[in-house]
Amino acid sequence: MRDRRSAIDSRERPLAADHGGHHESAHACPQGPPAPEGKEARHLLLTVQNAGDKKCDLYRYPLVRLGADARTTVPVTKDSDPDAGRPVTIAPGEEAYAALLVGGGARDEYEAKSITLVLQGGKPGSGAGKPVDVPVPVDTLYADDGRLVTYWTTASGYALDFIMSK
């Protein structure tokens, strides 16, 4: 059985994305203690940065797919909304965060070699811009039915609080 509590710490270079005339960059960074060799990352911090020259609103949470064959997006942990119903606004150069629990110890584990993220538009469930392929910080992620994502926030620690205990 894999040690699911560990994650390696590395920071990937952000990837640019277009969001309704604004530009963001996104990357995933594993959180937690360093993983022993051959172990996977379980807790990831998704980071977007406003690379444009105007303020940008991020609605709700990222629509995340783990793996190229994913049929559904990762469910949100509803109690992680820092300001229910209001978008998170980031100025040029600022970052926002959502935490991603790749595997929550549930059934149906599968290998994921990619993370795709879509920013939501003003209407719930609507996409804003094109899907972004987020660099995967390890060769393979081991996802399962217990995966979760949090709402966007400007405080990385706040986002991580909702998944680090799982």
Structure token pair of residue 48:
């977007």
Give which of 134, 51, 141 is closest to 98, Cα–Cα: 134
25 compared with 74, residue with greater pLDDT:
74
Question: What secondary structure letter does DSSP report for 158?
Answer: H
| Res 81: pLDDT | 93
Residue extents of the structural domains in the chain: 15-161
Give which of 129, 147, 120, 131 is closest to 60, Cα–Cα: 120
Q: Which residues contact 96 (CB under 8 A, 6 or more apart)?
A: 47, 48, 58, 88, 90, 152, 153, 154
| Res 38: pLDDT | 40
pLDDT over 70, % of the chain = 75
Fold of the domain built from segment(s) 15-161: Immunoglobulin-like (2.60.40)
10 Å CB burial of residue 97 (0-12, 13-18, 19+) is: buried
Lowest mean pLDDT among 27-36, 99-108, 149-158: 27-36
What tens digit of pLDDT does each residue of 84-131 get? 889 999 999 999 999 999 988 778 889 999 999 999 999 887 888 899
Q: Which residue shows structure tokens 């992680």?
A: 80
How does DSSP assign 58-84, residue by residue?
A: EEEEEEEEESTT--SPPPB-GGG-TTT
Decide: 17 and 129 in contact? Cβ < 8 Å.
yes
What residue type is 74 in one-letter code?
A: V
Chain centroid, CA 9 distance in Å: 15
Total-model pTM: 0.78
